[in-house]
Amino acid sequence: MSMCGRYVSTATAEQLANTFNAGDFTRGPAVEPDYNVAPTKNVHIVRMTHRDDVEREVVDTARWGLIPSWAKDIKIGSRLFNARAESVRTTSAFRNAFARRRALIPADGWYEWTPKQFGPGKQAFYITPESGQLVFAGLWEVFGPDKLITCTILTTPAQGELARIHDRQPLVLSPGQWEAWLKDDDAAVQLLEHPDITAVRLRPVGSAVGNVANNGPSLISAVEEQTGPDQLF
């Protein structure tokens, strides 16, 4: 499974507008609290907008999986839910969005899978920051005559303890970086090239999260990670 391909987001648009001092929010399709957000679902993003010659942040609704303006149809979005930080400025699908349409994508935590050391299958982990609001660096685009807003999450090489789970991780922004990511082109490039190491907690969780049809807070309940062969006696 690609990184980052599943996450948790439970805050309402009103709560996010307050957190990000967005003032108001764009009323797109309703986004319910979701413990198993997957590509092609509607998610909340924070983006810049211009109204009455005033630039400000708004909380909006976007379809996860970026669809470039030149795309033939929406199917491409199911593959473009992540953008690699190393190539986002040059890849045709993302370079215009990086230059003009950067976004914050709020989350509670995200999931990752790694092969079990003992026995078949993979162990799922739920990953949360040690402290503070979790925000992914993202991009957004507008597609088609209906002006469908879509988005993607940037990823970087995994750092610290995360590297034992997967070789990639989301580009996580600290509160002091939110405004720079949205508004400052030079600062955004620096964040791509020198991402901060974010302290996180890794919680082993059950296999139910692997099925996108499953949802609810039970998905993030901790289970015991198998660390050695089963004992017979």
Q: Name the residue with tokens 């026995």.
A: 119
Judging by DSSP bridges, how do beta strands 34-37 and 7-9 pair with one another?
Answer: antiparallel
Choose among 193, 181, 27: nearest CA to 97.
Answer: 181
Q: Compute the distance between CA of residue 82 and CA of residue 195 in angstroms, rounded to an integer.
A: 16
Q: Are 165 and 125 in contact (CB under 8 A)?
A: yes
Which own/partner contact pairs does 163-167 have at CB distance under 8 Å and 24+ positions apart? 164/114, 165/112, 165/113, 165/114, 165/125, 165/127, 165/202, 166/3, 166/112, 166/113, 166/114, 167/3
Q: Compute the distance between CA of residue 12 and CA of residue 85 in angstroms, rounded to an integer.
A: 28
Q: Which residues are catalytic?
A: 4, 112
CB neighbour list of residue 18: distance below 8 Å, 6 or more residues apart: none
